[in-house]
Amino acid sequence: MTPAFQDKLTEIRSRFVAALDVRGQIVYEAIISIETEDNQGAALQAAQMELHKIAGTAAPLGFKELGAFAADFESRISAQLSCSELNLIALKTDLLELMETIESIQLDASPSNWMRGSPNAFA
């Protein structure tokens, strides 16, 4: 891998990590709104769409665990959409794990870890 390519990849990864706050917030708001929304299906579909974006981008950029978790969460939402009754506890549990995973990635991807050569930074 050339240094120029490595620099570009680092830039893309940095933008992805920075955008995780917004993406996580979209999923959070969709899941939380289920309790008050009349159209729970639309809220779940919004969360599912954002999770699909995270899953599709995370793994190729080296965030394999996040990508796998987002894909699994997306699948569980699909299963919930076909049920007559939503399991809010399961959705909120998955949501909490997603938010914790995002926070962990952002901490590991901080510039101070890049300088130390953290094995988890963009691993």
Question: Which segments of 43-119 are extended strands (E)?
Answer: none
Q: What percent of the chain has pLDDT over 70?
A: 88
Q: Could you tell me the two tokens for 28? A: 């959070």
Q: What pLDDT does 122 receive?
A: 43
pTM of the full predicted structure? 0.82
Q: Could you tell me the two tokens for 104? A: 């962990």
Summarised one tens digit per residue, pLDDT across range 5-30 is: 989 989 999 999 999 999 999 999 99
87: alpha, beta or left, given left = phi > 0 and alpha = psi -120 to 50? beta
Q: Is 16 exposed, middle or buried (0-12, 13-18, 19+ CB in 10 A)?
A: buried
**Helix (DSSP H) and strand (DSSP E) numbers for the chain:** 5, 0
Residue whose pair of structure tokens reads 């009349």 in the numeric block: 38
Mean pLDDT of 51-65: 94
Residue whose pair of structure tokens reads 């708001």 in the numeric block: 29
Q: What is the DSSP letter of 37?
A: -
Q: Could you give the domains of the chain?
A: 10-111 (1.20.120.160)
